[in-house]
Amino acid sequence: MKKLCLIFLFLSFILFDTSAQSYIKYQNNPVIDTLSTTDPNQIWTRWKTDPYVIHWDNDSLRMYYGTNNYGVQTQIGTAISKDGNNWIEKTDSPVLMTGPVGSWDELDVETPGVIYIASNPDSMRYMLYYSGSQHDSIILGSSNSGLYPTEIYQIGLAYSNDGINFIKYNDPINDINPLYQNSDPVIRIPYTLGGMPDTINYLFSSVAEPSIMYDSISNTFKIWYIGLGCSNPNCIGISDFRYRILYSESLDGINWSPPVLSLDIGSIGDFDSKLIYAPHVIKIGDDYWMFYGGNTFISGTFSLFSQEIGLAISTNGINFTKISNNPIITNGSNGTWDYLGTNYPSSIIYKDTLRIYYSGMQDSLLNFTPNIGYVYLDSTFTSVYLNNNLNNQLIKVIDILGRESNQKRNIPLFYIYDDGTVEKKIIIE
C-alpha cells in the first residue's frame, strides 16, 4: 500500500546584515539581576555573570552563568525561561561546583559553554566546558614573584544526562597528582612543574572562556577561547600581557589540536585596543559570527575600564575579520543597569530573531553588581535567506512534552538544529 506523506513546516529564518546597527536593548533589562538574600543556602548565587544560553524543551531556553557571593568563589548556576524574558533560577545549589582543596579548579569555576550531542551516551549528552582556576604557586609549584598573574585558568569539561546534574571529566592516569585527582582540564597551559609557563608566540599562562560548537557533518568539535600571553619574546611581566582569542578542534571533545590565533586586539584608538576576550560564536548560513568583549585598558573589570561588545565574521571559523562599525553593544546611559560595562555575550536565534545575552555592570568600583540582559537584532524575514542558507544540522527531536522522540508520524514534533533554528513538523501518513 502506498503511503502519502505530507510535511507541514513552520520555519523562522532571518536576513542578517553585518553592518546593521539595529541592536535593540530589551526594555525590561536586566532579565536576571542580583539576588537580595540573607538566606545562607542562597548567598552563593547573589551575583550573576558570564551567560551562556541554549535551546531547551518546549521552545524554552536554559541559561548557564557564573554566580558567586559578591565576587567570592564563582560557581556555575542555571535558570530556565519560556520566553527568554522571565527566568526561574535554580537557587538550591550550583550545577557545577569548585573542586576540593588543592585541585586545579579550587578557586573558581566560571564562563560555561554548553552543547547537546544527541549521538553521545545518555550520561554524556550535555557537555559543559568551563574555566577553572588555582593559584600559580600550586599549579607551577613555585611563586612567580609577580611576573605572571597569580591565578591561573585552564579549561575543564563536565557531562550530564539532563543538563542539570554534571560530573566532571576525570582521567584516572593523572590521579597520582593531587591537582588532577578528582578532575582534569581538557585544555591546559604549557608548563613544567616548578617552572614558568611558556607565554611566547601566542602560548599562554591562562586559557579560559570557551565557546563550543559541534559540526555533525565532520563529527568535529570546535572551540574558541582566550589565551593570556606576552606580546613579545622579551616578556617583562604582566604589563606586557595581552589576551588573544584562540581556536582548536577535536574529534572527541577531550583531546584538542594546538591553538591557532583566531582574533587579536585592535589598533590604538579602537574599543578593543588593550583587551579582547569572552568570544561567543554562532553559525549563520555559511558564516561564523563571533561576538566578543573589548576593552581599552590593560586589565580589570571595574568602573574605570571601558568594556563593550564587538562582532567579527569568518567564512571558515578560524580567521575572523572585525566589522567596521564596532562596537555593536555599548554601555548604557549614566545610572542604568549596564552603564559601567557590557561584556560576556551569548548569542542565540530565538523567537524569530537573533538575541545576544550579556553581562552588564553598574554601581561603583567596589560593588559593580553584574546582571544579565539582552539585545536583539531588528531584522526582517526573507525567503531568499531561507533558500540560500538551509544547511543547518539536526541535533534533537522532541515532542510537545519536551521528551526526546524518534521521527514519528501523525503527531507534532519539534526539530532542533545546531544553529538554534527550531522547526515544528507534522508528518501525516
CATH number at residue 157: 2.115.10.20
37-46, 193-202, 293-302, 388-397, range with greatest mean pLDDT: 37-46
How many distinct helices (H) and strands (E) make up the chain?
2, 25
Q: What confidence category does residue 145 fall into, taking pLDDT thresholds of 50, 70 and 90?
A: low
Is 106 among the domain residues? yes
In this structure, of 8-17, 33-42, 255-264, the range with the lowest mean pLDDT score is 8-17
- Cell, residue 90: 535554580
Which secondary-structure segment (H or E) carries 386? helix 383-388
Task: Please indicate whether residue 139 or residue 321 has the higher confidence score (pLDDT).
Answer: 321
Cβ contacts of 343 within 8 Å, gap of 6 or more: 277, 278, 293, 301, 307, 308, 309, 358, 359, 361
CA 112 – CA 76 distance, rounded (Å): 7
User: How many residues belong to the chain?
Assistant: 429
CA 268 – CA 263 distance, rounded (Å): 16
Residues 308 and 264 in one domain: yes
**195 has a pLDDT exceeding 60:** no
Is 21 among the domain residues? no
Is 159 among the domain residues? yes
Q: What confidence category does residue 414 fall into, taking pLDDT thresholds of 50, 70 and 90?
A: confident
Helical segments of 23-113, H only:
none
Neighbouring-strand partners of residue 53: 63
CA 179 – CA 213 distance, rounded (Å): 28
Task: Please indicate whether residue 380 or residue 274 has the higher confidence score (pLDDT).
Answer: 274
**210 has a pLDDT exceeding 50:** yes
3-state DSSP assignment of residue 64 = strand
Cβ contacts of 220 within 8 Å, gap of 6 or more: 214, 249, 250, 251
Looking at residue 141, its amino acid is: G
pLDDT tens, position by position, 90-104: 999 999 999 999 999
pTM of the model: 0.82
424 vs 3, 7, 103, 235, 417, CA distance in Å?
A: 21, 10, 45, 55, 12
Return the pLDDT at 186.
96
Is 216 among the domain residues? yes
Q: Tell me whether strands 321-322 and 206-215 are parallel, antiparallel or unpaired.
A: unpaired
Return the pLDDT at 10.
37
Residues 286 and 418 in one domain: no
Q: 378, 395, 413: which is the final residue of a domain?
A: 378
**34 has a pLDDT exceeding 90:** no
Is 186 among the domain residues? yes
Residues 58 and 139 in one domain: yes
Is 362 among the domain residues? yes
Residues 149 and 286 in one domain: yes
CB atoms within 10 A of CB 172: 9
- Cell, residue 163: 543538563
Residues 210 and 89 in one domain: yes
- Specify whether the CB–CB gap between 130 and 110 falls below 8 A: yes
pLDDT tens, position by position, 331-375: 888 888 898 889 999 999 887 788 999 999 876 555 567 899 999
pLDDT over 90, % of the chain: 47
Return the pLDDT at 401.
67
pLDDT tens, position by position, 69-89: 877 889 999 999 999 999 999
**127 has a pLDDT exceeding 70:** yes
Domain membership of residue 405 as a residue range: 1-16+381-429
Q: 363, 378, 393: which is the final residue of a domain?
A: 378
| Number of domains present in the structure of the chain | 2
Residues 39 and 152 in one domain: yes
Looking at residue 188, its amino acid is: R
Q: 378, 398, 413: which is the final residue of a domain?
A: 378
Return the pLDDT at 273.
86
Residues 387 and 361 in one domain: no
- Specify whether the CB–CB gap between 174 and 193 falls below 8 A: no
Q: Tell me what the mean pLDDT of segment 292-299 comes to.
A: 75
Residues 186 and 123 in one domain: yes
CB atoms within 10 A of CB 317: 18
Dihedral sign for Cα atoms in the order 404, 423, 86, 158: positive
Task: Please indicate whether residue 162 or residue 35 has the higher confidence score (pLDDT).
Answer: 162
Peptide bond into 233 cis (omega under 30): no
Residues 322 and 275 in one domain: yes
Task: Please indicate whether residue 177 or residue 202 has the higher confidence score (pLDDT).
Answer: 177
Residues 105 and 173 in one domain: yes
- Specify whether the CB–CB gap between 13 and 319 falls below 8 A: no
Residues 3 and 55 in one domain: no
Residues 34 and 130 in one domain: yes
Place of cell 552543547: 115
